[in-house]
Amino acid sequence: MTKSGTINDLQLPEHVRPSSYTLQLKVDVEKQIYDGSVLIKIFIYEDCDFIVLNSSNLEVQGARLGNKPISWSVDREFLRFDSKFTKNELVELSIEFAGKFNDHIAGLYQSSYTIEEENEEKTRYVAATHFEPIDCRTVFPCFDQPDMRAEFEIILIVKSELTALSNMEVEKEIALENGFKQVVFKRSPPMPTYLVGLLIGQFDYVESKLSRIPIRVWSDPGKINKALYALELAEAALEFYEKQFKINYPLPKLDFVAIPDFPKLGMENFGLIFFKEETILVDRDTTSTNNKYEVAATIFHEVSHQWFGNLVTLKFWDSLWLKEGFADWMSWYAIDSLYPEWKPFQNYLVYDLQNSLTADALSTTHSVEMPIASLEDIKQGYDSISYAKGCSLIVMVAKWLGVDIFMEGVVKYLSTFSWKATTASDLWSCLYDVSGIDVGSAMEVWIKQAGFPKVTVEELDDNKIKISQRRFISNPTVTEYDDYLFPIFVNIRTTKEPSYQILLKSKEEIFELELEDDFFKVNSDQVGFYRTAYSEERWTKLGLAGVQGKLSVEDRIGLLADCAKLAESGYISTICFFELLKQWSCEKDAYVWDEAINDLFDIQDVFIFDNGNIFEGINQFMRNLIGNHIQASLEISQKDSYELNNFKKTIFSAGYSNGDPLVIKYCREKFASFTHDGNTVNADQRGVIFKCVAKYGGQEEYERLMEIYEEADDDDIADDALVSLGRFPKPDILQNFLQFVLDSLNEQDVLFALSALKNHSTGITTLWRFLRNDWESIAEKLGYGSETHIKVVNACLLRLATRDQKDEIESFFADKGEVFEKTVRSALERIDLKVQWVERDGSKLREWFKTNLHYSDGIVSKVEGLSIDK
Ligand SMILES: [Zn+2]
């Protein structure tokens, strides 16, 4: 049969496949141009009359098939060669081309850093690549698809003073004329195009002395002393995964590179992992413990991809969740084994799980296995659904089978499919082989169906409960998803061990529980991806059970989160949340506090423009709740465990937000001693101290913080100062700051700098005014409709909450174009939900605060001795 015809936009025809590339690029890093050639050996699987491959924005200058010139045609982003090809033939297609660097941080692009040389600041330019998912085709013609592996022989021609890195070790360097050299890398094992990495520039490195193969961390030479922490983690990660996966890391070296500009936290290029500089370069002594955890999580994530993603690759991008969800889970599993005090799975419950449940409750969500209709869909897949929901499905399966059996299945999957491409069903079948349990049929529903269920528990007589499910949608008025059904693992915790384990496959079912007392909690340890709703009385009883030690940390986190989100969506009253939490002032766990305080802030946000004192009521509630711990939170010690340190940090930060006078006094003193006497501040407290000084400060404090930002040698200190500058309560100070952001910051820092304004009412309205008044300058700075522009618009609209603001948004964006449509639509939907929430629960909450906090209409007990408007 002869293959011919039109080309599908998304996937290349499968009648031919590449077996190797010899790629030569001559790169001018400063002028941002390059030219090169690629020789691709292509195996013909079926008789056919054309070969097609991906090529985007390249100037093709010539092509040969074997020794003979061949003509080509350009069809959208494809190169097509028409000729007769015979089955089982191996043909050699060579193409000459030239290209320009990408203007954005994608494909092949320029980055830079400055160094001081002979008392002068000099800029050093760097060329770097980022190909995932589909930007390799913008650098050289190729079969740009994850299932099309081939061996790579890469040759770079660069200025002789520069270092060139790629996936493999250098085989030889040959000096050329005019100050250039040719760097020839060893041939790679077969790998997909998106994992090719190139880096050219002046870099320094530190190298491991302990590892089985060379491990190096590279950076701008001025920052190399901050690379040691990453190197230590890299060694630990490689050793841990080799043991766990029972397969040695397959390449002869592993390089980690900190790049000044990089679009992601990290990217797992085979043997050459790239990171955004600040993700892995830290000064162990001055960085916060949170930051150290983030460095570890990112490094363990990327290293795990060297097996899960690189050794075994996805068939196509619709399965992105599989590699990302697994890498997240694997990094936490590794950290939990090596550094258990960090409690990564509890961190996951508070942050990743909640973010993904929130995103997945919107009607605009998508299934974990993504429907892909366009190239744009492939790029849009990198969201909390693919990563965090993907990961929570892995959490569910690992718990269901038991971690040891799950890992046995993973080892089988990695060895069975080494150097091949897979889908999720390949993993399910390996898990079945080792466990005898058919996880696949349940999991296929979870990956193909968007959303998740709300599980409602109704208490009947004689210890019977009725459990029913319905899709959880954050907008309670939406009913169109009523026929959704999920297979749910309903684990029920009681005082009797072990817990009940039920697989609910229907809309509703009645269960009889054997209870020793009046206690039970559905979704024990919060393993299942759903929210559970109880009766009002049951929430109060569960609150009591939390105090009595009947609930695990995971249960307490889950209970709070479920309760707050069910209230937000109108499934239960917001009072249930306060009834549940009000008894927990003795809580000792940092992550439970993180969850509680995040939830309180979320509720507070909704009432930020409501003049009925609910905002201040929540502050008072918080002060009552954590008041006993405030003094302890100020007394930090080097000897504190990671957990205690976390606990103190959370309480301290909440104390600053709710205006605790002790915290404010402490912050002002520490700030004075830092600025006047040059004393250092604790890295874990520094951010809060700066923000607190700003929140209760004026012009003088503004100038001091600006000075710190501009003069700090340490990036962490500069960042803490920058993000505090948006916390000032006076509109004219904020206006000055916004002007500074526009005039002086570079593109990638704008969003970060603006984020602090979203956290207070004056900031929110100032930000909104700024967006409208400076619309043109903002667009010019960020590029109209660019990814950063859209993110900035989103940040400016995120916390708006009133009907008037909704009208203003609608009229302002009426003529701003389709590119903002999705962002604006979500903003309007959010406001609707907030308005409904205020109308539904506002007066009930006011009444509840009156009874429980003893405040009269007007002002909630004012904080003594504190003048807020300085
Ligand atoms: Zn990843």
Is 98 within a domain?
A: yes
Q: Which of 193, 152, 157, 181 is nearest to 169 (CA)?
A: 152
- Give kind and range of the element (H or E) at residue 826: helix 821-853
Give dist(CA 800, CA 781) in Å, integer.
Answer: 24
Active-site amino acid positions? 302
What is the DSSP secondary structure assignment for residue 288, as one 8-state letter? -
Q: Across all residues in the chain, what is the average pLDDT?
A: 92
Same domain assignment for residues 551 and 675: no
* CATH number of the domain enclosing 372: 1.10.390.10
Instruction: For residue range 731-763, list pLDDT tens digits in order.
Output: 999 999 999 999 999 877 899 999 999 999 999
List phi, psi (to 5°) of 144.
Answer: -90, 70
Same domain? For 325 and 470 the reply is no
- Does the pLDDT of residue 134 top 80, yes or no? yes
Quick check: is 2 in a domain?
no
666 shares its domain with 801: yes
* Ligand 1 centroid – CA 379 distance (Å): 14
Is 324 annotated as belonging to a binding site?
Answer: yes
Same domain, 669 and 793: yes
Residues 386 and 441 placed together within one structural domain of the fold: yes
Q: Which domain holds residue 22?
A: 16-202
**711 alpha carbon to ligand 1 midpoint, in Å?**
35
pLDDT exceeds cutoff 90 at 811: yes
The reported pLDDT for the residue numbered 5 is: 57
Average pLDDT over residues 101-124: 92
Same domain? 564 vs 711: no
Q: Which of 710-714, 790-794, 844-848 has the lowest mean pLDDT?
A: 710-714
Residue 305 marked ligand-binding: yes
Q: How confident is the model at residue 483, as a pLDDT?
A: 79
* Residue 155 belongs to domain with CATH number: 2.60.40.1730
Q: Could you tell me if residue 590 is inside a domain?
A: no
- Is the pLDDT confidence value at 621 over 80? yes
One domain for residues 25 and 110? yes
Same domain, 35 and 171: yes
Residue 707 marked ligand-binding: no
Q: What is the pLDDT of residues 392-438, one digit of tens each?
A: 999 999 999 999 999 999 999 999 999 999 999 999 999 999 999 99
**CATH number, domain containing residue 530:** 2.60.40.1910
Q: Residue 595 C-alpha to ligand 1 middle, in angstroms?
A: 26
Residue 538 lies in a domain: yes
**Does 171 share its domain with 31?**
yes
Q: How many CA atoms lie within 13 A of 186 on its CB side?
A: 11
- 498 pLDDT exceeds 80? no
Q: Looking at the domain assignment, is residue 477 inside a domain?
A: yes
441 plus 476 within the same structural domain: no
Token digits of residue 363:
């009607």
Q: 392, 420, 448 — which closes off a domain?
A: 448
- 75 C-alpha vs ligand 1 centroid, how far in Å? 32
- Classify residue 248: in a domain, yes or no: no
Where does a domain end: 202, 235, 250?
Answer: 202
Does residue 277 lie in a domain region? no
Q: How many domains does the chain fold into?
A: 4
Residues 813, 794: one domain?
A: yes
Please tell me the distance between residue 617's alpha carbon and the centre of ligand 1 in angstroms. Answer: 42
743, 783 contact by CB (below 8 A): no
Q: Which residues contact 273 (CB under 8 A, 6 or more apart)?
A: 254, 255, 256, 257, 266, 267, 302, 303
Shared domain for 647 and 775, answered yes or no, is yes
Tell me the range of 297-301, 472-476, 504-508, 831-835 where mean pLDDT is highest. 297-301
Q: What CATH number is given to the structural domain containing 685?
A: 1.25.50.20
User: In this structure, are strands 488-494 and 313-314 parallel, antiparallel, or unpaired?
Assistant: unpaired
DSSP single-letter state for residue 105: S
Binned at pLDDT 50, 70 and 90, residue 612 comes out as low
Domain boundary (177, 202, 227) is at 202
Instruction: With respect to residue 506, please indicate whether it lies within any of the assigned structural domains.
Output: yes
Hey, is 244 helix, strand or coil? helix
**CB-based contacts of 17: which residues, under 8 Å, 6+ apart?**
42, 43, 45, 143, 148, 150
